[in-house]
Chains A and B, each alone.
Chain A
Amino acid sequence: MATQNANINVHHVTRVEGHGNIVVNVTDGAVEKCEWQVPEAPRFFEAMVRGRHYSEVARITSRICGICSVGHTLASLKASEAALGIEISQQTDLLRRILKHAENFDSHILHVYFLVAPDLLGAPSVFPLVPTHTDVVKRALRMKRLGHEWGSCIGGRTTHPTRAVVGGFSSLPGGAKNVREAEDNLRELKEKLLAAVPDAVATFELLGELAGGIPDFTRETEYVGLVDDKEYGLYDGKIGCVMPDGSRELIDVSGYRSVTNEYMTDQATAKFAKHNMDSYMAGALARINLNYDMLHPEAKKLAEGLGFKTLCFNPYMNSVAQFVEAVHSVYMSVGYIDQILEVGLKDEKPAAPTKFGRGAGATEVPRGILFHEYEYDQDGFCTMGNCIIPTNQNHGNIQRDFDKLVPELLAMDKTEKEMELALEMLVRAYDPCISCSTHYLDVTFKK
């Protein structure tokens, strides 16, 4: 007997960044309402950059998100450099790739351990897990700290990086005073990365133990993410789209609007996106579906150990994909450091503009592909800005998942609470980062 009636009203899904609501009404077996609602207001960043000099724009847009501030910085720099006709050096390219990997690692660890793992362990948050899983929590914090030190070494700091500027870097890794010291900082970072491998392996073992708790849900959709002809698409590449039948399409970043096709709905103030189908997914699962063969062999080996196969159409597996990427990031960054040290680090000055015009840039952030586009006047001041974040690109896909999942849950005779948890877990799997999150304290003084 299928569930006949359900009334789910989750306002502010917990363990996600910002406010999103789940509303499901089922009467006598008929789904009357099933919505992923995103009450988000405009944030004015595109207006804020207008009239600002190109040297200031990335610093402003990095504030769009504290978790993805490196990604916003890099997408912004790439867009500005495209508009300004700037070619960056090989060294800058490699250092930015290391920085990008640091951000993804840091965010993925936070998401997998602190936001998703409690679901798989049947806990409402990480707190009840501390007495029973102390070593796991300690490991998570150890890895989170590594992500921070990794990003800080290259970017100056993990959140709102200061050293990455238009045309290159303003100072050497670790803030070193000279090249030799900077190379030592990179060697030290490499040692820290390699020292993290046992923690990564232990995490995979944990994921293997918990994998049975990942809901078995499949919905074929389109996946969109960067595809780089040299490596796994993360920092750079073309926009790749893969359809459920495996057919692929590559689009130049300058044509990003033909992919995102943003539109408004009645259920959300945030924009939705669609491409070949009526929604698409961005994020770690999309990247893996597009780039699986380009994974570092060690990451691929661990993924295979978990039975991960592409194309994977289970959105709940996004969290597993994130951790596969975290391991990939460790090994890739070690490789980049080796490449830099092999030719020798140079104290380079940032490259200067050769023109002033319009340009778009894309990079992958933890939640998916991110686009920035700017236009500059002949004095280098911004006249137009456009930023399309991955969370908004995923809203439509979350809704389509809901549309398929709710009837399946009803048919499985799930209780209202079980349905609510399944829907919340689905939202959390996408790791959405909605802009309206606040972080204030609310306290009373002890008597």
Chain B
Amino acid sequence: MRYLLGLGNFAMGDDSVGLRIVEHIVEQDLDKGFEAIEVGNNGMLVLTYFRDDTDALLVVDAVRHGETPGNFTIFAPEDVETQKVAGGISTHEGDILKLIELAKQIDQPIPPIKILAIEPESMEMNPELSPALKDRFQEYVLAATEEMRRNT
């Protein structure tokens, strides 16, 4: 099974971009050949998709990675290092890289994972995306669906 997982908080501006992409893909019936899931801020849920029968997992999330806000990059977790200093794994400070680290430590299967990283502009309380991300939203949807269909 192939999974597209959207992480974030709907109320926190660009932090919600992953959720909105998943929401759009489901509403537009674009989730063919894969399952699109809103993980929201229930980040630990990601670990339930770390299974032997998971063929591919694409995480769509707001990622500060030194790009211009609105730009996006697709990479594998092993390509990057986290800059977050928080040491815990709370639902607040946990992220996909920490979850992968945890899964490795307990010998849980790690499926092939890619991250569709969208550089945020603002992650303050706001029920909408910033203009920089809103303008390119369809590009993100296309990139996510193309990535999910790759090698199927």
B4 at the interface (CB under 8 A from A): no
Q: How far is the CB of B115 from chain A (nearest CB, A)?
A: 7
- Minimal Cβ-Cβ distance residue in A for B59: A441
Given contacts A43-B125, A44-B127, A442-B83, contact A137 B106 (CB under 8 A): yes
Instruction: Write the B35-71 contact mask toward A (1 if CB under 8 angstroms, else 0).
Output: 0011111111101100000000000011111100000
Instruction: Write the A129-171 contact mask toward B (1 if CB under 8 angstroms, else 0).
Output: 0110010011001001100110000000111100000000000
Q: How far is the CB of A174 from chain B (nearest CB, A)?
A: 14
Instruction: Write the B73-113 contact mask toward A (1 if CB under 8 angstroms, else 0).
Output: 00100111111101111111111111001100110100000
Is A437's CB under 8 angstroms from B92's CB? yes
- Identify the stretch in B9-17, B129-137, B144-152 within 8 Å (CB) of chain A at 4 or more residues: B9-17
Q: How far is the CB of B64 from chain A (nearest CB, A)?
A: 4
Our pick among A125, A138, A435 for the contact of B106 (Cβ within 8 Å) is A138
Is B105's CB under 8 angstroms from A131's CB? yes
Q: Which of A1-36 contact B (CB under 8 A)?
A: 12, 14-18
A277 at the interface (CB under 8 A from B): no
**List of A residues within 8 angstroms of B10 by Cβ:** 63
Is A14's CB under 8 angstroms from B93's CB? yes
B123 at the interface (CB under 8 A from A): yes
- Identify the stretch in A64-72, A196-204, A212-220 within 8 Å (CB) of chain B at 4 or more residues: A64-72
Is B63's CB under 8 angstroms from A159's CB? no
Q: Which of A402-447 contact B (CB under 8 A)?
A: 435-446
Our pick among A110, A157, A435 for the contact of B91 (Cβ within 8 Å) is A110
- Interface centre among A63, A115, A144, by most B CB within 10 Å? A63
Number of interface residues of B (CB under 8 A): 58
- Minimal Cβ-Cβ distance residue in A for B91: A17
Our pick among A16, A42, A437 for the contact of B9 (Cβ within 8 Å) is A437
User: CA–CA, A440 to B105, complex, Å?
Assistant: 23
Is B9's CB under 8 angstroms from A443's CB? no
Is B92's CB under 8 angstroms from A441's CB? no
**List of B residues within 8 angstroms of A144 by Cβ:** 44, 47-48
Q: How far is the CB of A97 from chain B (nearest CB, A)?
A: 21
**List of B residues within 8 angstroms of A66 by Cβ:** 9, 38-42, 91
The size class of the interface chain A forms with chain B is: 35 or more
Our pick among B19, B48, B86, B120 for the contact of A145 (Cβ within 8 Å) is B48
Is A124's CB under 8 angstroms from B80's CB? no
Is A440's CB under 8 angstroms from B127's CB? no
Is B123's CB under 8 angstroms from A438's CB? yes
**List of B residues within 8 angstroms of A134 by Cβ:** 105-106
User: CA–CA, A436 to B94, complex, Å?
Assistant: 14
A210 at the interface (CB under 8 A from B): no
Is A440's CB under 8 angstroms from B123's CB? yes
Our pick among B9, B38, B120, B127 for the contact of A160 (Cβ within 8 Å) is B38
Instruction: Write the B2-38 contact mask toward A (1 if CB under 8 angstroms, else 0).
Output: 0000011111100100010000000000000000011
User: CA–CA, A130 to B102, complex, Å?
Assistant: 8
**List of A residues within 8 angstroms of B88 by Cβ:** 14-15, 118, 124-127
Our pick among A43, A67, A148, A443 for the contact of B64 (Cβ within 8 Å) is A443
Is A444's CB under 8 angstroms from B81's CB? yes
Is B41's CB under 8 angstroms from A442's CB? no
**List of A residues within 8 angstroms of B45 by Cβ:** 148, 158-159
Is B87's CB under 8 angstroms from A127's CB? yes
Is B12's CB under 8 angstroms from A438's CB? yes
Residues of B bordering A, CB below 8 Å: 7-12, 15, 19, 37-45, 47-48, 61-66, 75, 78-84, 86-98, 101-102, 105-106, 108, 115, 117, 120, 123-125, 127
Nearest 9 interchain pairs by C-beta? A66-B40, A66-B41, A125-B88, A443-B80, A15-B90, A41-B125, A440-B62, A63-B10, A441-B63
Q: List 15 A-B contacts (CB under 8 A).
A: A14-B87, A15-B90, A41-B124, A64-B11, A65-B40, A137-B105, A137-B106, A148-B48, A435-B9, A437-B12, A437-B41, A440-B95, A440-B123, A445-B75, A446-B81
Supplied contacts A124-B87, A158-B45, A437-B92, 16 more A-B pairs, CB within 8 Å:
A63-B40, A66-B42, A66-B91, A124-B88, A127-B102, A160-B40, A435-B11, A435-B125, A436-B12, A438-B9, A439-B7, A439-B15, A439-B43, A440-B63, A440-B123, A441-B84
